[in-house]
Amino acid sequence: MPSYSSPPLEPTNTPMPTSAPAMPAPIGIAANQGWQDAYQFVHPGDKLEITAAGVWSHDPLDPQFSTLYGPSGVDLFEAKAILPSAPVGSLIGRIGDNHPFLVAEHLVLTSAERGKLWLSMNDSPDRFSDNTGSVGATVLFAPKPVGPGVRLTSTQDSYTLVYPAGYFVVITPQGICLTQDARAEAIPCDLVTATGLEVGEAHGRTGAQLANELINFNDPNFRFDSHEMLLDGEPAIWISREGNEEIMNLVIAVQAHRVYTWRFFFPVLHPALGQEDQVMAELDQQQMFYNTIINSFEFLD
């Protein structure tokens, strides 16, 4: 079990600074491949700036399209295209399995969805095989700004984060728990049922192996969802286990020789008539709590 040196935690009441995103290398988007993975994971509130350049064609054998064109496409609209409202041959995107949108040569958007960013040429889904060329797409990513909160640093376990004001931290032999109960120090904190972070030795295991050890995906009492994401630039796995009364979200990341496992427990809310606004406010608070921690989390190594 990891133990904490004195002092293991260094809280301050200032938000974490947000550094400017580095300029990434362009991602090649081929004209003949349909949807292609362009960014590992996007949360609601994250900001994306996509810039594209290059040439391609949706129908190079047709004389009017034999000259390659750019990611804005051509003056042609097709009812059977992936996005009928966008020009054929234009660069389009989507987040997760949500509705596609036009990117063309440049787009700045604040995501309302969660999931991977996918990019594609806008063409009929059954007509990609004869397309030619490619464009390079540069994706600048800025996470949703971290709200005001308390910065917490563990020198023993090599991480720092911000947690929202109004929460209390309980130090455990395995990591930390977060609670809104002011009696935090007097309440047992069980990381199996409480929101918090557990840090342990990875012993060569991958995030996928650790996820399979923690979760019984065949349990008929729960619904499951999962995807890959990034935690401070490191590959991580997000898992949602939803029952009738409770949702547990797991975020598992392996960094150096350690495994960092976040557990977020949220009650399933069933609004009564006239309580819809109250329930929406509680959902917003849950999302803010998750976003503040995950978007501010940084490894110190």
Kindly report the CATH class assigned to 149-299.
alpha beta
- Measuring CA to CA, which residue among 245, 268, 248, 260 is closest to residue 195? 248
Q: Which of these ranges, 9-23, 56-70, 226-240, 285-299, has the smallest mean pLDDT?
A: 9-23
Average pLDDT, the chain: 84
Cross-strand partners of 135: 29, 54
Mean pLDDT of 268-276: 69
158-175: buried (b, 16+ CB within 10 Å) or exposed (e) per residue? bbbbbbbeebbbbbbebb
- Return the SS3 of 277: helix
**CATH level 2 (architecture), domain 27-142:** Sandwich (2.60)
* Higher-pLDDT residue of 121, 193: 121
Distance CA 70, CA 121 (A): 11
Q: Which of these ranges, 74-83, 108-117, 273-282, 287-296, has the smallest mean pLDDT?
A: 273-282
Mean pLDDT of 92-96: 94
Is the pTM higher than 0.75? The answer reads: no
Distance CA 39, CA 139 (A): 8
pLDDT of residue 182: 67
Amino acid (one-letter) located at 133: G
- Measuring CA to CA, which residue among 66, 195, 88 is closest to residue 132? 66
pLDDT over 70 (residue 244): yes
Distances (CA, A) of 258 to 155, 196, 239, 261: 14, 16, 19, 10
Distance CA 197, CA 282 (A): 22
The domain ranges of the chain are 27-142, 149-299
Per DSSP, the residues of 163-223 read EETT-EEEE-SSEEEEES-TTGGGS---TTTSSEEEEEE-TT--HHHHHHHH--TT-TT-E
pLDDT over 80 (residue 138): yes
Pairing, β 234-242 against β 223-231: antiparallel
Percent of the chain with pLDDT over 90: 44
Distance CA 285, CA 297 (A): 18
pLDDT of residue 185: 57
Distance CA 295, CA 256 (A): 20
Cβ atoms of residues 53 and 71 within 8 Å: yes
Secondary-structure breakdown of the chain: helix, strand, coil percentages, each rounded to the nearest 5: 10, 40, 45
